[in-house]
Amino acid sequence: MGIQIFDILPKRDIEIEDLKGRILAVDAFLWLHQFLSIIRQPDGTPLMDSKGRITSHLSGILYRSARLIESGLKLVFVFDGPSPKLKSSTVEERKNLKEQAKIKWREALDEENLEGAKKAAQATSYLTGEMIQQSKNLLEFMGIPVIQAPSEGEAQCAYLCQEGYVYAVSSQDSDSLLFNSPRLVRNLSMTGRRKLPRQDTYVEIKPELIELETALKNLGITREQLITIGLLVGGDYNPGIKGYGPKKALELVKKEKTLKKVLEKIEWNHEMSAEEIYDFYLKPDIDKEVSFEFTNPQPEKILKFMVDEHEFSQERIEKIIKVLMESKDSNQQKSLGSWFK
């Protein structure tokens, strides 16, 4: 998902505490897909309530967001709008890959291979309109602002960062940098101790900060050339050029300078023209009249939604509510006491 050129981008590890008091724009769809992929049972089955409704995304939103809020961060979730036509081929390809992953999942289950089953199942996750609305509802109950982008969420996130509404974009992809976001924070949705695939080894994953100006200066390129590198490597709008990874793409772009000259050195046989994708990164469809505000958490609505409707543990949800309320000012903390009596 998205352009992956992090091998060539200068970055630095930071602590969650370094972001205290900062507002970050979250690429909502990416986070939700990540939660749906990772938060699963040992056999790969996603979390579900007794009615068979998937709840992995709700679990991820609630617990991860509460933990970050408790650490002093402020989050704004930005949701994708309709996919641009540039993305049509990618969307269709992803559907086919999910179907193939479902077959592998069933085969692994038949062989009682739980590790293989869970790995295959992670590639089958999908996000429905109902899940999206559920996520927006939960965020509203938590007091977290939601922004609906007219098109690509990362483009809208980048605009928020450009204009100073937020400190950085939180995403695992580098697309927001191509959309001209001054700062990108990776790993915010997955910090902590994580087990390496197929190994009995754990690693500590920390947030990474990438600053666009620093990256461009370090690489000796412009933002426009960074976009060209993205076109060569491939992402959501084109599969890239065979044989070109980030390092080789950087070498070619620094040598040829412009997109026009780069295209003279390669064969571009994709449905969408390179110029069309390039222009989309320079002039994406965004809402420039955007606004948002942080509101108070609504304990009763969180409880009803998570416990009564989706059967989460009341004790655990009440602990999260306490975290959310205690992150507010003293008057709100006082209201918490009256609510729990």
What would the 3-class secondary structure string for 235-289 be?
CCCCCCCCCCCHHHHHHHHHHHCCHHHHHCCCCCCCCCCHHHHHHHHHCCCCCCC
Residue-wise pLDDT tens digits, 274-299? 999 999 999 999 999 999 999 999 99
Residues linked to residue 146 through DSSP beta bridges, in sequence order: 77
Instruction: Work out the angle at residue 288's Cα, subtended by the Cα atoms of residues 280 and 138, and round it to the nearest 5 degrees.
Output: 100
- Give the integer Cα–Cα distance in Å for 25 and 30: 12
- Give the integer Cα–Cα distance in Å for 109 and 103: 10
How long a stretch of residues is the chain?
341
CB 239 within 8 A of CB 277: no
Question: pLDDT at residue 1 above 70?
Answer: no
CB 115 within 8 A of CB 198: yes
Residue-wise pLDDT tens digits, 111-170? 878 788 778 777 788 899 999 999 999 999 999 999 999 999 999 999 999 999 999 999
Q: Is the pTM of this model over 0.75?
A: yes
Question: pLDDT at residue 332 above 50?
Answer: no
Could you please state the CATH topology (level 3) that the domain comprising 12-219 is classified under. Answer: Rossmann fold (3.40.50)
